[in-house]
């Protein structure tokens, strides 16, 4: 009698899922960054939530994380299942033996990364960075961009002083003239060009960057919830197609998520609405090439097996 009364009450209140035997579905914990990527888009549009609900699961959004490194630390601790980052973040994570897999790649546009100097600075070529200071994030995209640019121009790495700062602190140091240049990526590129009297000394093409945005999951999640991972992958591809068709609207989503002025939306939309795909042989080769740079530069102690850190997914529709 007591159980029947509880069941009737639960049905009347719409909460039958709270009773024993009616537990809610699994939660997919997506560690999101304040960054212009497909996870940010899916969070804002509600598409990831709806896709997971259709699979009997729920979406949870730990974060926002300030960068990929702390998100990957959370993944290593078992606190999140999925996150986004860059090729460089993947390399440092795999080198640290974090049990993660890359399941999607989005090449970064040339305008989405580069080395910045002040508009009036007497620096017109990469070679003129010798004897000067450049803000970079240690072991991340900034340090990679600087090292790649120096090597491509046959400039000794020790002839340029690397100043290791977080992206936020790098922006302040650059704006206040405490460093001569800043190796950065979007949205920091767009912010600096609009607000810090900056100009691009060299963009991603001039540097020869092979960097990309990546989507990553824990190995445990890929092994135990493959259908949910496929649903996330398919939804990210659909959101990416929407962003490419509507870059200004995507830019507004991203500037809102990053608490940036709406005036930056057109530039950030144009720089970051580029195609996402399942990981290809070309992607693996490019990430491996960056890994070689990291080992040669002493950023990581060993070259991780990039191929072993990849999960090949294909769109289901």
* C-alpha of 315 from chain center: 21
pLDDT at 24: 62
Q: Tell me the whole-structure pTM to 2 decimals.
A: 0.86
9-108+211-309 maps to CATH 3.30.1330.40: no
pLDDT at 179: 98
Residues 6+ apart with CB under 8 A from 33: 39, 40, 63, 64, 65, 66, 67, 68, 71, 83, 84, 85
Q: Which fold has domain 110-207?
A: D-Maltodextrin-Binding Protein; domain 2 (3.40.190)
Lookup: tokens for 166: 């977080």
- How does DSSP assign the chain, residue by residue? -HHHHHHHHHHHHT-GGGSTT----PEEEEE-BSSSSHHHHHHHHTHHHHHHHHTT-EEE----BSSHHHHHHHHHTTS-SEEEEEHHHHHHHHHTT--EEEEEEEEPPGGGEEEEEETT-S--SGGGGTTSEEEE-TTSHHHHHHHHHHHHTT--GGGSEEEE--HHHHHHHHHTTSSSEEEEETTHHHHHHHHS-EEEEEEHHHHT---EEEEEEEHHHHHH-HHHHHHHHHHHHHHHHHHHH-HHHHHHHHHHHTT--GGGHHHHHHHH----B---HHHHHHHHHHHHHHHHTTSSSS---TGGGB-------
pLDDT at 301: 87
**266 to 57, 105, 107, 218, 255: CA distances (angstroms):** 34, 23, 19, 34, 10
Domain boundaries, the chain: 9-108+211-309, 110-207
Lookup: tokens for 110: 């040339």
**153 to 46, 133, 292: CA distances (angstroms):** 45, 17, 18
Residues of the chain with pLDDT under 50: 1-23
- pLDDT tens digit string along 14-70? 333 333 333 468 999 999 999 999 999 999 999 999 999 999 999 999 999 988 989
CA atoms within 13 A on the CB side of 276: 31
Alpha-carbon Rg for the chain in angstroms: 22
């Amino acid at each position: 009698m007591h159980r029947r009364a509880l069941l009737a009450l639960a049905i009347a209140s719409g909460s039958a899922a709270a009773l024993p035997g009616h537990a809610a579905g699994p939660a997919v914990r997506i560690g999101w960054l304040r960054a212009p990527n497909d996870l940010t888009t899916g969070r804002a549009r509600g598409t990831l939530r709806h896709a997971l609900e259709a699979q009997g699961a729920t979406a949870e959004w730990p974060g926002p994380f300030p960068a990929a490194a702390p998100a990957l630390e959370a993944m290593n601790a078992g606190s999140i299942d999925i996150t986004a980052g860059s090729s460089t973040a993947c390399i440092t994570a795999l080198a640290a033996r974090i049990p993660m897999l890359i399941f999607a790649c989005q090449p970064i546009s040339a305008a989405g990364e580069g080395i910045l100097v002040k508009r009036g600075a007497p620096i017109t070529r990469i070679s003129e960075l010798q004897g000067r200071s450049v803000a970079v994030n240690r072991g991340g995209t900034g340090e990679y961009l600087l090292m790649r640019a120096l090597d491509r121009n046959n400039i000794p790495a020790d002839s340029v002083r690397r100043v290791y700062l977080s992206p936020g602190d790098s922006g302040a140091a650059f704006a206040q003239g405490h460093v001569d240049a800043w190796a950065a990526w979007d949205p920091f590129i767009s912010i600096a060009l609009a607000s810090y009297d900056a100009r691009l000394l060299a963009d991603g093409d001039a540097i020869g960057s092979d960097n990309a945005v990546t989507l990553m999951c824990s190995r445990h999640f890929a092994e135990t919830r493959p259908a949910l991972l496929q649903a996330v992958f398919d939804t990210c591809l659909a959101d990416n197609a929407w962003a490419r068709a509507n870059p200004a609207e995507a830019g507004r989503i991203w500037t809102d998520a990053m608490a940036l002025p709406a005036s930056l939306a057109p530039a950030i939309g144009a720089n970051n609405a580029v195609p996402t795909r399942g990981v290809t042989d070309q992607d693996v080769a490019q990430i491996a090439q960056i890994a070689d740079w990291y080992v040669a530069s002493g950023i990581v102690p060993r070259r991780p097996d990039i191929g072993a850190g990849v999960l090949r997914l294909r769109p289901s529709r």
